């Protein structure tokens, strides 16, 4: 019998591409023989746009890098600016940043777990995760008025102080969240069909993960024990006690479940941070409205929900960055897709893509 | 001549029942899914959003009827009706009340098993006609899946026929005794699972898997043609549930007459709800897992059931 | 802790799921799934509230933007003093973070925003009176104040601050034309009398407040003319004395009984004053110059700054004609002394201070003006010894100073080994002043500390004897005139409370003056000249250094009106058309169209393109007046139309005149102001 490979374009507009990615796939029946992610559909030239805006005006742009985790891009950018301009951030602002970024990690991981669930057809598990995400987003809305693009972390601090009663509502959230996570664990990760769909699918071995620059939960699922919060401590993270969950098989199941456990650990960090939070200023003193750092360059990275997110800034002494470069974890993570997806079925391909949890705003920039 | 008129009359009635059932079914599915997913579902139009479909149906009617440029136009246009017709036809042999079915034939059970299976042809036609890779994959998946699950489904009904000693649905209902329930439990469960697979619903909705194939075999359909596919799907859910309620669960038992019809409707609704509940609870299986499940679990289970009935039969 | 123990523990590897493999475990897990969804189906949704519950708008809802208030139609609430209501208003504004920065950073909370508003509205006399409520001598302070308000001005962020101090002076010049019509004594309603010793700014401020509250106020002054340090210490080229006397005359006209040439402790005694009056306020200031305990200071030719300034101001002769003068000190007084020395004929004036150029405690504009006039500054030098010959000064040995402050910021100078001999004929020590109150307090039970300081409560201004209060530099140490005025106001509140039998502290809030950093010079490239600050015309440096003529010449009426229009009316919720929102917008979503022709009706239209808006909120955050708000009307995403519509009254107004308060604060048409261009 003569068979022919079927070439299929998945995306750029497709329910499971998590944004606008195009996967050029060749299929032998249901089996994927070749996959090539074609990116750039969401390229807005943010790095170039940053060169024409003041340092403050760039912050809303960074919101739109990883729109599922805007706080991270805000923070990474602000850290680079602060390093460049030599700004000392008040301690309260650092704590608030840690709190909102851990909340953001939860919100983002809910998206990651949710998409793992939705890709396997478990829409309910997706929505259970999203209910938790909604609670976080409500907290953020109270904090800064926005639900997705927060523009909250600013060079020198944060834009608003915590409103009245926010700390209590945040504690209420972290009190119920681990329980909800364990329920989702039992409901989805314990389900026989979900296990059959996720286990052994898209196995990424640790050496390949390191070689390809995969970071974050996607690497930790393969057993790469690397977390910037612990291994290159920044901000006030050294003051917190937390564990870094790792997987051993490196399959889609491990990657998704690492995210689930990270959420539980994030609650632990938030609780400690709320305990240690003290009143004080939230913005560095004497910050001019128009920042114009001395000529030079700075790089800083943080552990975002997707991995190591870095921002490199060059200043020529003017009030606008000379160059901004974003080291995007989603981009690096996406690169391993052909490596781990070939040989699986079409259904698995999308599960594997979802388990890498790319956000194309950040991939394409 | 009169039989032709009667046939037309029953056809129209069947279409109306299915259409009405689909309208209510869609609303009910949205409510069930909503509550399961920590939402409310429709709630704006009418009490608890019950009139939502009154708004949705005109919307679907007035939507543009798009035919893709490369499509095989006649097949593309006829495919939805080809999908709908077998489902409507299957309604004819359902014994709604004791001793009464619209089309009471001696091969009713066989008719019910065979005619809806024609849907696979419609699906293949639709998939082919669209000239769309997703639809093609969806159609092929549907074909393999529906043909495979015919086997356990038919085998699950076989014990019933054995017990009743007839292929006439009204006679099956008449012969039904309450102890058939525990006796045929395995067959009932297998029948339900196989039916879900037959009607391409979750967790066996691979042919239309949203996260993979967008909408599978009806990816390029829009407006009313799409709605007819959906109606066929809901019609399949309703007919399969009606048949199960009538034959496995004893139709109007423990009541008779009008109350019996009510009991049948309630049983059917419960079955429909269970089908929906399943869809919103379980993740989707993969194609290979789907087929393995059919041959490794369902078919042996029905054979076991047949054996049990075979053991019981001489004692009756 | 319990919470910590309840917390789930991270498994060593997440690969082992919560359930095992196999058919039974699988079936059980599926059954559990059904149970879970069933439970979820009957439970109440956690997050979905609408429409079952009414949504409450979150405190920081960000939606489309709307301008609240229409340009120019809203009156700005003016801060009038003195009253409790005033203090409460200020406290409330502090707490609500709604105080304009200029008002908040002024020690006396002078309503500079209200002043600019009234001047721009051509109500200059009202502006003067508004300022006088808190700043008792606007004409004087308009010449000599160190204007912390301007340092805090929000316009610093964008271009240059508002010229608040020159506006005080301009308001005074306008007011003095009509002052005779405006002055009438305050009615005496209280039947109690207060005696104030000293007629310096703090005493006058307290006197004004007490007069306004209805008390009889009697003031004693040692000199023949009132004014305290303003009279004796401030050089006349900065402050013409007739301005000072006129403003004090006004206060006398309001009911103050001023006795000059009466020295308390000699002509009258404090105990007798305490018997005569219900309360006594000591506002005597610092009378003594400090001189360093180094060898040679008793030689002829070593003088203190106060004595030097006194003779320079009143006799225009300080015995330095043709001589070389060395001024020790880096503060404002030292600069005053140096500039006075030039004016009384010194052949060469040097200024030696410990601090480096950037650390000098005097205001940068002061030293700049002095350098213009020919003063030679010698920085980072500490006085070591006065070189004498036959008991006459011939020079000064200076030692190099490495650092003045230690790491903690305390005064702890470190000296190097290098010494320099500076030949000079006269050495003036301008290193600080000390109080001299022993004769005043004689015969009373007032406590005086070992260093000659009066013991005073720094927030309530009470002394160790009930009924005796103190204010001014005797409490705060050497400081600014406006700081002294602020203590005078506070002391007046204390006296009022004391005389009314109210608790002195009560709910009074100690309001520390917020410290605003010095702003670097703004980058004014590309800013239209009519946006920029009015330049104070100055007398020619060569000429002015020869006599005591005024250095600053004052603003013209047009300049002052235009300057007042530059005010951003911070926190007033009135759009002033500053266009900063448009300039901050990262997406260029706000477009400003301005009809800006001379003589034409001036209208600025703000166009918010919501297809470009990214809802980052930066525009509303930076709006200086808080006129730009985020609202919760997510669906109603259009701009308020009334911004673009003239009302009837507006149509009937002539296109000139009061426009400035209104539609457009940037460039009033029909008011072409000559400004300096870039370069």
- Does residue A217 form part of some domain? yes
CB C220 within 8 A of CB C196: yes
Of C407, C434, C461, the position where a domain reaches its end is C434
- Does residue A179 form part of some domain? yes
Domain count, chain C: 4
* CATH code (residue A246): 1.10.645.10
C304 and C413 inside one domain: yes
* CATH code (residue C629): 3.30.70
Q: What is the pLDDT of residues A199-254, one digit of tens each?
A: 888 899 899 999 998 998 999 988 888 888 888 888 888 888 888 898 888 888 88
Give all chains having 3 or more CB-to-CB distances under 8 Å with chain B.
Answer: A, C
Q: What is the mean pLDDT of chain A?
A: 87
- Does residue C588 form part of some domain? yes
* CATH code (residue C80): 1.10.1060
Q: Is the pLDDT higher at C257 or at C435?
A: C257
Of C376, C402, C434, the position where a domain reaches its end is C434
pLDDT level of residue C657 (50, 70, 90 thresholds): very low
- Does residue C625 form part of some domain? yes
Rounded to 10°, the helix C23-42/B2-36 angle is: 90
Q: How far is A248 from chain B (nearest CA, A)?
A: 24
Which range (B94-108, C327-341, C353-367, C645-659) has the least confidence? C645-659
Parallel, antiparallel or unpaired: strands C381-389 and C392-405: antiparallel
- Does residue A159 form part of some domain? yes
C553 and C645 inside one domain: no
Which range (B149-163, C142-156, C608-622) has the least confidence? C608-622
- Does residue A347 form part of some domain? no
C494 and C616 inside one domain: no
Q: How far is C32 from chain B (nearest CA, A)?
A: 10
Q: How far is C111 from chain A (nearest CA, A)?
A: 24
Query: Cis peptide before C67, with omega less than 30 degrees from 0?
Result: no
**pLDDT of C641 over the 60 cut:** no
- Does residue C42 form part of some domain? yes
C63 and C81 inside one domain: no
Q: What is the pLDDT of residues C178-236, one digit of tens each?
A: 888 888 888 888 888 999 998 889 999 999 989 988 899 999 988 888 888 888 888 88
- Does residue A14 form part of some domain? no
Q: Which residue of B has its CA nearest to A127?
A: B37
pLDDT level of residue A95 (50, 70, 90 thresholds): very high
- Does residue C102 form part of some domain? yes
d(CA C19, CA B315): 43
pLDDT value of position A67: 86
pTM for the whole thing? Answer: 0.70
Domain range holding A218?
Answer: 44-329
d(CA B308, CA A119): 40
Residues of B with CB under 8 A from a CB of C: 32, 35-40, 43-44, 277-278, 280-282
Angle, CA B66 vertex, CA B60 and CA B67 arms, to 5°: 140
CB B80 within 8 A of CB B232: yes
pLDDT value of position C582: 77
**pLDDT of C321 over the 50 cut:** yes
d(CA B160, CA B169): 10
Q: What is the pLDDT of residues C495-543, one digit of tens each?
A: 988 888 888 776 666 565 555 555 556 666 666 666 678 778 777 777 7
- Does residue A309 form part of some domain? yes
d(CA C260, CA C225): 6
C610 and C538 inside one domain: no
d(CA C334, CA C352): 9
pLDDT value of position B38: 84
Q: What is the pLDDT of residues C73-87, one digit of tens each?
A: 345 666 666 666 666
**pLDDT of C583 over the 70 cut:** yes
Q: What is the pLDDT of residues A149-178, one digit of tens each?
A: 888 888 888 888 888 888 988 999 998 899
Q: What is the pLDDT of residues A250-287, one digit of tens each?
A: 888 889 889 999 999 999 899 999 998 888 888 887 67
pLDDT value of position C81: 62
Give all chains having 3 or more CB-to-CB distances under 8 Å with chain C.
Answer: A, B
C487 and C364 inside one domain: no
C410 and C341 inside one domain: yes
* CATH code (residue C380): 3.50.50.60
Contact B282 C33 (CB under 8 A): yes
* Low pLDDT (below 50) residues in chain B: none
Task: Rounding to the nearest 10 degrees, give the CA dihedral for residues C246, C249, C251, C253.
Answer: -130
pLDDT value of position B215: 76
Mean pLDDT of C139-164: 83
pLDDT level of residue C569 (50, 70, 90 thresholds): confident
Q: What is the ipTM of this complex?
A: 0.81
Q: Name which of A191, A227, A249 to mutate to probe chain C: the one with the most chain C Cβ atoms within 10 A of its Cβ.
A: A191
C611 touches chain B (CB under 8 A): no
Domain range holding C372?
Answer: 290-434
pLDDT value of position B242: 87
d(CA C666, CA C606): 14
Contact A223 C21 (CB under 8 A): no
Of C511, C533, C548, the position where a domain reaches its end is C511
C427 and C318 inside one domain: yes
Residues 10-29 of C with CB under 8 A from A: 10-11, 13-15, 17-19, 21, 25-27, 29
- Does residue C66 form part of some domain? yes
Count of other CB atoms within 10 angstroms of residue B196:
23
Q: Is the pLDDT higher at A180 or at C543?
A: A180
d(CA C294, CA B164): 127
pLDDT value of position C51: 56
DSSP lists the bridge partners of residue C350 as C326, C376
Contact C30 A191 (CB under 8 A): yes
Rounded to 10°, the helix A91-119/A70-85 angle is: 150
C482 and C428 inside one domain: no
- Does residue A162 form part of some domain? yes
C430 and C344 inside one domain: yes
- Does residue C517 form part of some domain? no
Q: How far is C517 from chain A (nearest CA, A)?
A: 6
C81 and C95 inside one domain: yes
Query: Cis peptide before C283, with omega less than 30 degrees from 0?
Result: no
Count of other CB atoms within 10 angstroms of residue C41:
19
Q: What is the mean pLDDT of chain C?
A: 75
- Does residue A274 form part of some domain? yes
**pLDDT of C68 over the 60 cut:** no
Q: Which residue of B has its CA nearest to C36?
A: B281
CB C210 within 8 A of CB C283: no
Mean pLDDT of C249-268: 88
Contact B285 A350 (CB under 8 A): no
Q: What is the pLDDT of residues C83-108, one digit of tens each?
A: 666 666 666 666 656 678 888 788 88
pLDDT level of residue A77 (50, 70, 90 thresholds): very high
As to burial, measured by CB atoms within 10 angstroms (0-12 exposed, 13-18 middle, 19+ buried), residue B138 is: buried
pLDDT level of residue C411 (50, 70, 90 thresholds): confident
- Does residue C4 form part of some domain? no
C124 and C215 inside one domain: no
Q: How far is B35 from chain C (nearest CA, A)?
A: 4
pLDDT level of residue C271 (50, 70, 90 thresholds): confident
Q: Is the pLDDT higher at B117 or at C656?
A: B117
Q: Which residues of A touch C584 (CB under 8 A)?
A: 56-57
Domain count, chain A: 1
d(CA C596, CA C663): 12
């Amino acid at each position: 019998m003569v068979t022919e490979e079927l070439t299929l374009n998945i995306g750029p507009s497709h329910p499971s591409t998590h944004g606008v990615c195009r996967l050029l796939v060749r299929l032998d029946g249901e089996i994927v023989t070749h996959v090539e992610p074609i990116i750039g559909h969401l390229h807005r030239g943010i790095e170039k746009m940053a060169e024409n805006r003041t340092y403050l005006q760039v912050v809303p742009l960074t919101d739109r890098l990883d729109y599922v985790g805007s706080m991270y891009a805000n923070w990474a950018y602000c850290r680079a600016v602060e390093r460049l301009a030599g700004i000392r951030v008040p301690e309260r602002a650092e704590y608030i940043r840690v709190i909102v970024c851990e909340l953001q990690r939860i919100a983002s991981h809910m998206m990651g777990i949710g998409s793992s669930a939705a890709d396997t057809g478990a829409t309910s598990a997706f929505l259970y995760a999203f209910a938790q995400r909604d609670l976080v987003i409500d907290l953020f809305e109270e904090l800064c008025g926005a639900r997705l693009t927060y523009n909250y972390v600013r060079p020198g601090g944060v834009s608003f102080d915590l409103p009245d009663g926010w700390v209590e509502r945040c504690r209420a959230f972290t009190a119920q969240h681990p329980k909800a996570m364990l329920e989702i664990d039992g409901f989805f990760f314990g389900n026989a069909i979900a296990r059959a769909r996720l286990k052994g699918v898209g196995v990424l071995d640790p050496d390949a993960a390191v070689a390809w620059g995969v970071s974050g939960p996607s690497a930790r699922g393969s057993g790469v024990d690397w977390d910037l919060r612990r291994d290159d401590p920044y901000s006030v993270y050294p003051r917190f006690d937390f564990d870094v969950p790792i997987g051993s098989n490196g399959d889609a199941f491990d990657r998704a479940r690492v995210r689930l456990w990270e959420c539980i650990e994030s609650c632990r960090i938030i609780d400690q941070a709320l305990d240690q939070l003290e009143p004080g200023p939230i913005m560095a003193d004497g910050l001019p409205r128009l920042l114009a750092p001395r000529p030079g360059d700075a790089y800083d990275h943080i552990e975002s929900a997707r991995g190591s997110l870095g921002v490199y800034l060059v200043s020529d002494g003017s009030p606008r960055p000379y160059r901004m470069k974003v080291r995007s974890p989603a981009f690096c993570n996406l690169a391993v897709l052909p490596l781990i997806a070939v040989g699986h079925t079409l259904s698995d391909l999308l599960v594997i893509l979802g388990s890498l949890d790319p956000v194309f705003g950040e991939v394409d920039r | 001549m009169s039989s032709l008129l009667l046939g037309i009359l029953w056809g129209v009635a069947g279409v109306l029942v299915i259409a009405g059932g689909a309208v209510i079914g869609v609303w009910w599915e949205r409510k069930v899914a909503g509550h399961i997913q920590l939402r409310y579902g429709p709630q704006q139009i009418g009490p608890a959003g019950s009139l939502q479909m009154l708004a949705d149906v005109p919307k679907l009617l007035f939507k543009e009827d798009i035919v893709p440029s490369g499509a095989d136009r006649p097949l593309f246009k006829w495919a939805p009706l080809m999908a709908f017709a077998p489902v409507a036809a299957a309604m004819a042999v359902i014994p709604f009340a004791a001793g009464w079915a619209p089309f009471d034939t001696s091969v009713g059970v066989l008719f019910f098993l065979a005619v809806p299976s024609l849907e696979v042809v419609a699906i293949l036609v639709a998939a082919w006609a669209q000239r769309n890779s997703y639809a093609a994959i969806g159609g092929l998946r549907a074909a393999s899946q529906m043909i495979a699950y015919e086997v356990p489904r038919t085998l699950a009904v076989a014990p019933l026929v054995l017990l009743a000693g007839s292929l006439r649905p009204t006679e099956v209902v008449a012969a039904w005794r309450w102890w058939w329930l525990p006796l045929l439990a395995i067959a009932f469960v297998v029948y339900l699972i196989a039916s879900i697979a037959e009607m391409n619903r979750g967790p066996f909705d691979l042919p239309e898997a949203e996260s993979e194939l967008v909408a599978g075999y009806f990816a390029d359909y829009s407006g009313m043609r799409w709605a007819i596919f959906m109606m066929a799907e809901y019609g399949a859910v309703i007919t399969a549930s009606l048949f199960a309620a009538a034959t496995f669960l004893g139709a109007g038992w423990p009541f008779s007459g009008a109350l019996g019809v009510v009991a049948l409707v309630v049983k059917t609704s419960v079955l429909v709800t269970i089908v929906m509940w399943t869809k919103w609870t379980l993740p989707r299986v993969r194609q290979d897992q789907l087929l393995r499940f059919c041959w490794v679990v369902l078919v042996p289970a029905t054979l076991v059931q047949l054996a049990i009935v075979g053991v019981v039969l001489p004692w009756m | 802790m319990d919470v910590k123990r309840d917390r789930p523990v991270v498994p060593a590897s997440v690969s082992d799921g919560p359930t095992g493999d196999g058919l039974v475990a699988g079936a059980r897990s599926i059954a559990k799934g059904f149970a879970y969804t069933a439970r979820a189906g009957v439970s109440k949704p956690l997050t979905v509230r609408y429409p079952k519950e009414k949504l409450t708008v979150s405190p920081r809802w960000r939606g489309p933007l709307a301008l609240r208030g229409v340009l120019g139609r809203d009156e700005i609430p003016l801060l009038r003093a003195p009253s409790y209501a005033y203090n409460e208003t200020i406290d409330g504004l502090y707490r609500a973070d709604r105080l304009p920065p200029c008002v908040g950073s002024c020690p006396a909370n002078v309503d500079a925003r209200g002043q600019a508003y009234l001047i721009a509205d051509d109500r200059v006399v009202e502006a003067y009176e508004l300022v006088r409520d808190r700043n008792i001598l606007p004409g004087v302070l308009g010449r000599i104040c160190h204007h912390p308000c301007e340092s805090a001005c929000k316009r610093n962020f964008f271009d240059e601050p508002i010229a608040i101090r020159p506006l005080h002076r301009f308001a005074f010049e306008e007011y003095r034309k009509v002052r005779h019509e405006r002055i009438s004594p305050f009615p005496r309603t209280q039947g109690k009398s207060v005696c104030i010793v000293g007629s310096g700014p703090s005493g006058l401020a307290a006197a004004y407040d007490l007069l306004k509250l209805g008390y009889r106020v009697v003031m004693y002054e040692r000199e023949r003319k009132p004014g305290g340090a303003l009279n004796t210490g401030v050089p006349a080229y900065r402050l013409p004395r007739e301005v000072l006397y006129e403003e004090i005359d006004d206060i006398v006209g309001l009911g103050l009984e001023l006795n000059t040439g009466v020295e308390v402790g000699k002509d009258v005694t404090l105990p007798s004053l305490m018997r005569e009056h219900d309360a006594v306020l000591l506002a005597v200031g610092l009378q003594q110059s400090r001189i360093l305990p180094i060898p040679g200071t008793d030689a002829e030719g070593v003088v203190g700054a106060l004595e030097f300034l006194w003779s320079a101001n009143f006799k225009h002769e300080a015995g330095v004609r043709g001589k070389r003068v060395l001024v020790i000190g880096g503060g404002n007084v030292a600069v005053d002394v140096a500039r006075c020395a030039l004016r009384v004929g010194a052949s060469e004036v040097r200024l030696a201070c410990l601090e480096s150029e950037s650390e000098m405690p005097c205001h940068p504009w002061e030293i700049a003006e002095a350098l213009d006039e020919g003063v030679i500054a010698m920085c980072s030098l500490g006085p070591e010894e006065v070189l004498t010959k036959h008991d006459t000064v011939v020079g000064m040995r200076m030692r190099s100073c490495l650092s003045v402050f230690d790491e903690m910021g305390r005064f702890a100078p470190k000296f190097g080994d290098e010494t320099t001999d500076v030949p000079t004929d006269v050495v003036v020590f301008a290193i600080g002043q000390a109080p001299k109150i022993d004769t005043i307090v004689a015969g009373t039970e007032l406590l005086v500390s070992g260093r000659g300081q009066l013991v005073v409560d720094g927030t309530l201004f009470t002394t160790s004897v009930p009924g005796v209060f103190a204010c001014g530099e005797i409490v705060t140490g050497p400081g600014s005139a406006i700081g002294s005025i602020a203590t005078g106001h506070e002391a007046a509140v204390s006296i009022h409370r004391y005389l009314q039998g109210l608790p002195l502290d009560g709910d009074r809030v100690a309001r520390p003056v917020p410290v605003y950093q010095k702003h670097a010079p703004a980058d004014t490239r590309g800013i239209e000249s009519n946006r920029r600050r009015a330049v104070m015309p100055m007398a020619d440096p060569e000429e002015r250094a020869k006599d005591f003529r005024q250095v600053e010449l004052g603003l013209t009426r047009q300049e002052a009106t235009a300057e007042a229009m530059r005010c951003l009316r911070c926190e007033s919720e009135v759009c002033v058309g500053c266009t900063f929102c448009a300039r901050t917008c990262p997406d260029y979503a706000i477009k400003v169209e301005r009809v800006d022709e001379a003589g034409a009706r001036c209208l600025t239209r703000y166009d918010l393109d919501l297809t470009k808006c990214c809802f980052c909120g930066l525009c509303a955050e930076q709006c200086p007046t808080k006129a730009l708000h985020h609202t919760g009307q997510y669906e109603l995403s259009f701009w308020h139309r009334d911004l673009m519509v003239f009302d009837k009254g507006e149509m009937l107004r002539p296109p000139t005149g009061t426009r400035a308060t209104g539609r457009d604060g940037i460039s009033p048409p029909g008011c072409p102001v000559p400004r300096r261009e870039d370069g």
